[in-house]
Chains A and B, each alone.
Chain A
Amino acid sequence: MSRVKQVNENQCQMCMPLGGVVAVKGVENAMPLVHGSQGCSTYMRLTNVEHYNEPLDIASSALNEKQTIYGGEASLRKALDNVIRVYRPKVIGVLTTCLAETIGEDVERIVEAYVKDRNIKDIDIIPVSTPSYGGSHTEGFWAATKEMIAYYARPAEKHAGINVIIPHVSTADIREIKRILGLMGIEYTLMPDYSMTLDRPYEERYHKVPPGGTRTPDISRMTGARATIQFGLTCPDELSPGLFLQQEYGVPLISLPLPIGLENTDRFLEALKMLGGRPMPEALALERGWLLDAMADSHKHNAEGRPVVYGEPELVYAFASMCAENGAVPVVIATGTRNGRLIARLKLLLAEADEPPTLLEEADFASILEAAAKMSANVAVGHSGGKLLTERLGIPVVRVGFPIHDRMGGQRILSVGYAGSLAFLDRFTNALLEKKLATYRQSKKEELLIKEEG
């Protein structure tokens, strides 16, 4: 169900260009430029910096009052000049804001004219429409990913490799997905790959534009791939990069849930086997076995869990199904954005649940807290925005997703694959145990002892 109130109290989502920025950072030598007020890019830097614990430069066209009235072309051109001079990128993703869209900036034309006037040959400038009122950072991420793929798409020779298109997961998750692909002996192009650009080891040289990211010639060859695996059950059709490749270039699209939990990871590996991968290597078989063993070890603890799962649709679906698979059937599932697909999928997934869960789209934390209290939730899975669940209701939050700004290492949180699922499961079970062991003596006393008449 949607929010019945008009006012949004304590936001569960951020705005579109932020997701676009993260996706742009997933392409090699790319620099994001936000066309709007100075403030937007500064906020997006702050949010990303606090989560990734890395410097992250985002340029802005810094529109002021005059340009808002007369148009921002001169500002955008100057911004491009300066970004090229200081950062020397090979790719610039120009993301719009609500301001630029509302004043009707024709960014495509401005960029076209700029490329022609400046005789730009070796820098790709890619405009992406991301008005804040058009959706949340989730939609911005998909939109930018699709636009960048569309920009580079060319008819290509058929090849044996596959495409892997990911939603907004942690950099550790990306590295784990790549490791599994490597173990299965599959050639692939993963997009957008910000695993090294937003999470760099300490090194002697500091790079303004960090090395890493999907290479643009590889993006061009995505059109010739044997198939696309897209972890995007909830991805809207009009923003779907995988659907674009299927409709325009005939690359078969395999939509999968994120490989979080046993069943979802099994599905990923089955797909890889079907696409020419080798049988499951020993290393992965062991990891699967350890996960199964852990599921058995902790199932009775997990059965006491009444989780609230919230955040971006694709992650919410994967974590909700993993909780359910471990007998901790979610009692509240919420996303800040409007996503009918998520709700439909969840209804299927949890059709058998003893207690039908409360499903919220366009949720804010006021409605999530209210539902959590009503459903007697005792654990939560999601990003730092859920801190009020702990502060006000005493519900521990197992932190996953984005943003994580009140704990260290949001970029290193691993939840995908058998190994990642096991890591998540332990965090989840231990959150339940920590709360229970800290409170059960007192709560039993309150529950069972007859109060002496004072």
Chain B
Amino acid sequence: MDAYCSQPVQEALIDERQSSIVTKGKSKGHISCTSDSIAGAVSQRACVYCGARVVLNPVTDAAHLVHGPIGCAAYTWDIRGSLSSGPEMYRNSFSTDLGERDVIFGGERKLAACIDEIVAMHRPPAIFVYSTCVIGVIGDDIGSVCREASQRHGIDVIPVESTGFRSGNKIIGYRAAADALLKLIQPGEEAVKPTRKVNFLGEYNLGGEKWVVERYMRDIGVEVNVAFTGDSTVARLKQAPRACLNLVQCTGSMHYVARRMEEAFGIPYIDVNFFGADNTAESLRKIAEFYGEDAKNRAEALIGREMARIGPSLRKYREKLAGKRAAIYVGGAFKASAIIRQMKELGMEVVLTGTQTGKKEEYEKLDGMLSDGAVIIDDANPAEIEMFLREKKVDVMVGGVKERFLAYKLGVGFVDHNHDRKECLAGFDGAVNFAREIYRTACSPVWKHVKKGVKP
């Protein structure tokens, strides 16, 4: 038994969870995923409301009103690292702050009053009204309250059906947010005038990432119409139907929107991914392909220039990081596969990966990217992460806040790749930033000291 162990390892695992953990080259059958979290397993997942909130929150000039008791709003206030080029309204957190009496007698009247107050104080162009667990139980009709408020004030007041207990899986919340966005962009009577611009779906402008990609686009002669939802405004979102192409980045949250927009407005969509130099280059080529010869030439020039510029830095980090062992635990499989690819570019070996919301076919794709012996976990919990970080002798982990300090306690480096990070990790410069972040943590002098400093 490992001296570090707080108990025999197999004890730390729940039988029911075994089918959600596979080892490449050893396990038979498919990974079990997409089901609800097991009670008591300490899942890292959040709730439907959280999924909806993180997708919609970056709409910069909308007011975000959470209908429910105080907690749901308080925990998600300013939760996104999304940057704005103008309005700051999205950084406020509004709550109807339901008390016991409201729960007994219903909260519809209070909701209407709160909407009126927000309009009187801030005059936002739109208000998103999120429903929470209690609202689902007491059955407030937020749809009709929003409809009436819309008519009263002449602005969009849009209900988001995000009652938390519907699922522990954020995907359901992404869908609720998507439906709210589709409602918002529904054109009125006037005909939609098409343009040559693209929409950028599933881009949240964390650390200014939307702006980075926008700069590349401009370089190849393509204009970004609006992003869903990074640095977007209500007015820009309403222009979304005028794009000629949708780029879809975060698949978990936005494929559905892209499909619906294709049905409604005939806008085709392509999958893109700007995490990592190779992904960025491929995505630019794909987009240029759509726009024709001139864009293709300009894209090649840009890629050549940028690759030459960042090459030396990436090589320098690769020398330091080659052979290091990495673990990845993130929200969605889209991000996981992008990170695996980047790790491999840096000469690292990914020995553990997992997501909160992966689907079977996505896990198959991840499996194809890994070498034998790598572990894949769906909906992992701290006990499992702890066990594999030790067992697989991981040097560095990429994940979200909740895993950060567990990694540190085990002497493992850590990189934040979550919804509230402050660093720009997209595009060519983002690839360098990511490599630098990994280097700074994996090769930090502190590990030498902390490990030496502990008395046996």
Which of B74, B75, B137, B404 has its CB near the most chain A CB atoms (within 10 A)?
A: B74
The distance in angstroms between the C-alpha atoms of A442 and B39, with both chains bound, is: 60
B103 cross-chain contacts in A, Cβ below 8 A: 98, 102, 133
Q: Is B19 an interface residue (CB 8 A)?
A: no
Binary contact track A72-90/B, C-beta < 8 Å → 1, others 0: 0001101111110111100
A38 touches B6 (CB 8 A): no
A39 touches B168 (CB 8 A): yes
Q: Is B456 an interface residue (CB 8 A)?
A: yes
The distance in angstroms between the C-alpha atoms of A18 and B44, with both chains bound, is: 17
B405 touches A53 (CB 8 A): yes
Q: Is B290 an interface residue (CB 8 A)?
A: no
Segment touching A, from B109-117, B195-203, B269-277, B425-433: B109-117
The distance in angstroms between the C-alpha atoms of A242 and B37, with both chains bound, is: 39
Binary contact track A191-206/B, C-beta < 8 Å → 1, others 0: 0000000001011111
A385 cross-chain contacts in B, Cβ below 8 A: 77
Q: Is A33 an interface residue (CB 8 A)?
A: yes
A22 to chain B minimum Cβ distance, whole angstroms, is 14
Q: Is B150 an interface residue (CB 8 A)?
A: no
A13 touches B70 (CB 8 A): yes
Q: Is A10 an interface residue (CB 8 A)?
A: yes
B75 cross-chain contacts in A, Cβ below 8 A: 14, 43-44, 46-47
A37 touches B40 (CB 8 A): no
The distance in angstroms between the C-alpha atoms of A14 and B97, with both chains bound, is: 11
B143 cross-chain contacts in A, Cβ below 8 A: none
A98 touches B134 (CB 8 A): yes
Q: Is A430 an interface residue (CB 8 A)?
A: no
B165 touches A82 (CB 8 A): no
A41 cross-chain contacts in B, Cβ below 8 A: 42
Query: B37 is contacted by which of A38, A102, A131 (Cβ under 8 Å)?
Result: A38
Q: Is B93 an interface residue (CB 8 A)?
A: yes
Binary contact track A16-59/B, C-beta < 8 Å → 1, others 0: 11100000000000000100111111111111011001110111
Q: Is A447 an interface residue (CB 8 A)?
A: no
Q: Is A64 an interface residue (CB 8 A)?
A: yes
Binary contact track B278-305/A, C-beta < 8 Å → 1, others 0: 0000000000000000000000000000
Query: B383 is contacted by which of A16, A62, A208 (Cβ under 8 Å)?
Result: A208
Query: B43 is contacted by which of A62, A83, A366 (Cβ under 8 Å)?
Result: A62
Q: Is A451 an interface residue (CB 8 A)?
A: no
Q: Is A321 an interface residue (CB 8 A)?
A: no
A13 cross-chain contacts in B, Cβ below 8 A: 70, 74
B44 touches A8 (CB 8 A): no
B401 touches A204 (CB 8 A): no
The distance in angstroms between the C-alpha atoms of A18 and B72, with both chains bound, is: 12
B95 touches A7 (CB 8 A): yes
B166 — nearest CB in chain A belongs to which residue?
A65
The distance in angstroms between the C-alpha atoms of A329 and B404, with both chains bound, is: 40
Q: Is B50 an interface residue (CB 8 A)?
A: yes
B4 touches A62 (CB 8 A): no
A50 to chain B minimum Cβ distance, whole angstroms, is 6
The distance in angstroms between the C-alpha atoms of A17 and B110, with both chains bound, is: 24
Query: A99 is contacted by which of B73, B74, B134 (Cβ under 8 Å)?
Result: B134
A43 touches B93 (CB 8 A): no
Query: A98 is contacted by which of B13, B47, B68, B455 (Cβ under 8 Å)?
Result: B68
Q: Is A389 an interface residue (CB 8 A)?
A: no
A40 cross-chain contacts in B, Cβ below 8 A: 47, 71, 164
B168 touches A62 (CB 8 A): yes
Q: Is B221 an interface residue (CB 8 A)?
A: no
Q: Is A400 an interface residue (CB 8 A)?
A: no
Contacts A38-B37, A102-B137 known; A68 to B98 CB distance under 8 Å? no
The distance in angstroms between the C-alpha atoms of A5 and B115, with both chains bound, is: 11
Would you list 15 pairs from A and B whose C-beta atoms are within 8 A, ordered by A residue? A7-B94, A7-B117, A7-B118, A14-B71, A37-B168, A39-B168, A53-B405, A57-B42, A57-B382, A59-B40, A59-B41, A82-B41, A133-B70, A133-B103, A206-B4
16 more A-B residue pairs beyond the given contacts A39-B168, A98-B68, A205-B5, with a C-beta to C-beta distance below 8 A:
A15-B74, A42-B44, A49-B404, A53-B405, A55-B402, A55-B406, A59-B40, A62-B41, A64-B167, A78-B40, A82-B41, A86-B12, A136-B70, A202-B450, A202-B454, A336-B70
Q: Which 9 residue pairs spanning A and B have beta carbons closest together?
A: A39-B47, A15-B71, A82-B40, A79-B40, A38-B168, A132-B69, A43-B75, A79-B39, A11-B74
| A contacts, CB < 8 Å to B | 5-11, 13-18, 33, 36-47, 49-50, 53-55, 57-65, 67-68, 75-76, 78-83, 85-88, 97-99, 102-103, 131-134, 136, 200, 202-208, 336, 366, 385
